[in-house]
Amino acid sequence: MKLSDFDYSLPTSLIAQHPPVQRTGSRLLVLEPATGRCQDRGIGQLPALLRRGDLLVFNDTRVIPARLMGTKSTGGQVEVVVERILEDHQVLAQVRASKAPKPGTRMTLEGVLEVTTLGREDDLFLLRFATDESVNRLLERHGRLPLPPYIDREPSVEDRDRYQTVYARHPGAVAAPTAGLHFDAPLLAALAAAGIESTHVTLHVGAGTFQPVRVENIAEHSIHKEWVEVSDAVCQAITRARVRGGRVIAVGTTSVRSLETAAQASGEVRPFRGDTQLFIYPGYPFRVVDGILTNFHLPKSSLLMLVCAFGGYDAVMAAYRRAVAEAYRFFSYGDAMLILREQHEVSDQ
């Protein structure tokens, strides 16, 4: 398929700039992939839309304040977004400046942090912090929340809470797993009371998630690396769900990629810890996931391609056109979409 196949028209007024008043206040578009039928519901109705015995899989990564502003030793302005912490004092980061920093370039970030450029890995820069403190602690003290580029404002105090899931545990993401932003403690309790179980994977979302696909032949696209962990406990929870006839429902595309990465070797999900570059687009045979709860994604993005792979290209693109017509809110702070299959099957879409 071509990149242009995944384009759609979106008025900028539908790009959510702020979260809803309540986490569970978002609308929910329910898509039946077999028929293409859509229903307009709300996130709060999720316990009634799922079945007793289903398993929800959440991504418990925690967003770190990874954005740092400063100057190069030459005086030029620079913006750094830490993509991955490699060790206590070294990171891979995006660096925005009038000229890309060369090895040896020194920067002062947030007025106090002395940083040296060591080299480059593809689009990212290897940086070393001149300090005895760990980078994690430095970021917590000096860093800024890296809101997505389509949110046209500076982060507020509210964002520190709302651009984070209520179950976030493991620091390392520079973008939120946004499907999880819709859940609060009462909704999680209501799901448990309805007999719907849950488990957690970890995928540290990178800033590359916002990078557009740049090749017209999407099969030639190389997706960015992200660190993922699928534990033995997750695998056991999936096995129990299968035994009782429940479906495995991934909350967000990051949970989808985590589970499907862990099933790449054998076709069955196995414990996994390491990097993933799994790129899912139409034609991919899903091995684990039976349902996806996800936000609405950018045109021509790898995330939209993943959703089309699961729900069917025609059905998903029609649902997106409907969402635009019905003024759903789009992207990180926007509304959500639920795609469910009736039973476990290996996709041939």
Lowest mean pLDDT among 80-89, 112-121, 133-142, 214-223: 80-89
Residue 17 within any structural domain of the chain: yes
Does residue 347 surpass a pLDDT of 80?
A: no
Proportion of the chain above pLDDT 90, given as a percent: 88
Does residue 348 surpass a pLDDT of 80?
A: no
Q: What is the pLDDT of residue 47?
A: 98
Residues 36 and 179 in one domain: yes
Give the Å distances, CA to CA, from 16 to 97, 183, 272, 316, 328: 28, 17, 35, 20, 9
Picking from 88, 108, 142, the residue at the C-terminal end of a domain is: 142
Residues 57 and 184 in one domain: yes
pLDDT digits (tens, 9 = 90+) for 115-170: 999 999 888 999 999 988 999 999 999 999 999 999 999 999 999 999 999 999 99
Give the separation between CA 302 and CA 299, rounded to whole angstroms: 9
Residues 284 and 324 in one domain: yes
Residues 102 and 226 in one domain: no
Give the Å distances, CA to CA, from 331 to 17, 148, 151: 9, 9, 9
Residue 271 within any structural domain of the chain: yes
- Total domain count, the chain: 2
Residues 72 and 59 in one domain: no
Q: What is the pLDDT of residue 349?
A: 40
- Encode the chain in three state secondary structure: CEHHHHCCCCCHHHECCCCCCCHHHCEEEEECCCCCCEEEEEHHHHHHHCCCCCEEEEECEEECCCEEEEEECCCCEEEEEEEEECCCCEEEEEEEECCCCCCCCEEEECCCEEEEEEEEECCEEEEEECCCCCHHHHHHHHCECCCCCCCCCCCCHHHHHHCCCCCCCEEEECCCCHHHHHCCHHHHHHHHHCCCEEEEEEECCCHHHHCCCCCCEHHHCCCCCEEEEECHHHHHHHHHHHHCCCCEEEECHHHHHHHHHHCCCCCCCCCEEEEECCCCCCCCCCCCCCEEEEECCCCCCHHHHHHHHHHCHHHHHHHHHHHHHCCCCECCCCCEEEEECCCCCCCCC
The average confidence (pLDDT) of the chain is 94
Residue 201 within any structural domain of the chain: yes
Summarize the confidence of residues 50-62 as an average pLDDT.
Answer: 98
Residues 7 and 116 in one domain: no
Residues 235 and 137 in one domain: no
Residues 268 and 323 in one domain: yes
Q: What is the CATH number of the domain that holds 96?
A: 2.40.10.240
Summarize the confidence of residues 71-78 as an average pLDDT.
Answer: 93
Picking from 113, 142, 171, the residue at the C-terminal end of a domain is: 142
- Containing structural domain, residue 29: 3-63+159-340
Residues 13 and 137 in one domain: no
Residue 273 within any structural domain of the chain: yes
**Residue environment code for 120-159, b if the CB has 16+ CB neighbours within 10 A, otherwise e:** eeeebbbbbbeeeeebeebbeebbbbbbbeebeeeeeeeb
Residue 180 within any structural domain of the chain: yes
Q: What is the CATH number of the domain that holds 202?
A: 3.40.1780.10
pLDDT digits (tens, 9 = 90+) for 226-281: 999 999 999 999 999 999 999 999 999 999 999 999 999 788 999 999 999 999 99
Give the total residue count for the chain: 349
Picking from 87, 115, 142, the residue at the C-terminal end of a domain is: 142
Does residue 64 surpass a pLDDT of 70?
A: yes
Residue 150 within any structural domain of the chain: no
Residue 7 within any structural domain of the chain: yes
Residues 229 and 108 in one domain: no
Residues 51 and 73 in one domain: no
The amino acid present at 230, given as its one-letter code, is: V
Residues 30 and 85 in one domain: no
Residue 149 within any structural domain of the chain: no
Reported confidence tier of residue 344, pLDDT bands at 50, 70, 90:
low
pLDDT digits (tens, 9 = 90+) for 276-335: 999 999 999 999 999 999 999 999 999 999 999 999 999 999 999 999 999 999 999 999
